[in-house]
Structure 1
Amino acid sequence: MDKTELGSKIAKGGFANEKAICRKFNSWRKDKEAQEWLKIMNYDIKKLDSVKAIQVPTRIKKNDLSKFEVNEKEYEQFVRFKKADAQIRIIIKIGNILKIENMSLKKANSDADYNQIDKRTVADYQEMWKFDDEITFWLKLFTGEIAHKKYSGKISIKKFRDKRRLFLNEMPERIQDKIIKFFKRNQIMIISDIIKGRGGLSADWMLVTKLIGKITMQRKGGTPDPTKIQFKTKPCQLFNLGE
């Protein structure tokens, strides 16, 4: 499986997770886990009249704004600052009070080292964080948006480690220091933007579900009972759940 197929599989898995979490919140009267989540969110289950969870699509059309309680004037900011990860919106009614909670969802494998939390173009991040054009130029070389070979004279690098893009430690020390200092100086804003987001869909909560592995069904085969159906999993993965 190549990286494109793997990325597509992970993305689809995220959206499947999104649907499952929505179903649990929408079954909150009977679902014990959903009730526990609502308690963690500081809600008294006995006082709730209704809970409705809806998926937030990756691209939101103007026609769908009413679903998210957003007016047309807020649309541009609403879309611009929407995070790219799986999100749901929970609409909670307590008497005449309507509460909106936005939740970012993550599905983690026991062996996963990293999980994407935000993804945008360098230009989008420049607009958000206001770093200068020099940092923008070098970050575009870093991502490969700009072909580094075309600028080998300007950047004084003749031999590149990767034909697709430039590594940070290949950049002049002055540029490395400038980029690092910018991110350190603005780390609170940056961390808030990439985890919580901005605007009408900024995440109030992050819910992480843990994947315990696949359960496989197959024909038994072998002896003494080859015609039976068996279910298989990797039990050692269960020992990692609390880590």
Structure 2
Amino acid sequence: MTPPDAPHNRWSDLDRPPLNVTALRRGLLRPGALWTSLEVVESTGSTNTDLAERARTGAAGEGTVLIAEEQTAGRGRLERSWTAPPRSGLFLSVYLEPGDIPVERWGWVPLLAGVAAATGLAKSAGVDMSLKWPNDLLVSVDGGERKTGGILGEFAGDGIVVGMGVNVSLRADELPAPTAGSLALAGAVSTDRETLLRAVLRSLEHWYGAWRDADGDAAASGLQAAYA
């Protein structure tokens, strides 16, 4: 038997258990739902890079979800790096194909994902979330706003890949910068990543559906008001 403190054992940090992919699929991959496939990988450079490559080669369809327990070369805006300890956060990308929506309105998709993440996390983690233009997710830690997550979108294949990184259980000594935060440091009532993932993906499904039903009109879908 592998000892629990072995360096690469998935259970080496009992406060950060691995995701249960079977349970996630059972809860999210329903008939008629947006999400059509869900994969969890142990480690990768960037879920966005991986999923974008699949989309370009036709190996990903709308509703594909790729989640990593660890990202070693995650990217934020302006090509900034995004790293965190294994299983300490949400590191995922989704592939969407809003083909019937005028392409000039596709720029709302990453903003839509920001609204979805903020509302989903606020409900499931029990913390106040806010958005900073264009897509920083903020929480309050010690009376000040701290960045706890971000959204990154890129065109790929016939659609768009939207990546998301959220600090969930990071402790103060693990933060990458003094301006960073985490849900745990913000006093979250739950840091269970499966609960948070389900909430975020269901919220994203809701907002994406409303936006598509409104033909990509941000005002008519309620997205513009929610973002403001």
TM range (shorter): under 0.3
Q: Which has the larger radius of gyration?
A: 1
TM-score after normalising by structure 2: 0.23
Q: Which structure shows the bigger proportion of residues in strand conformation?
A: 2
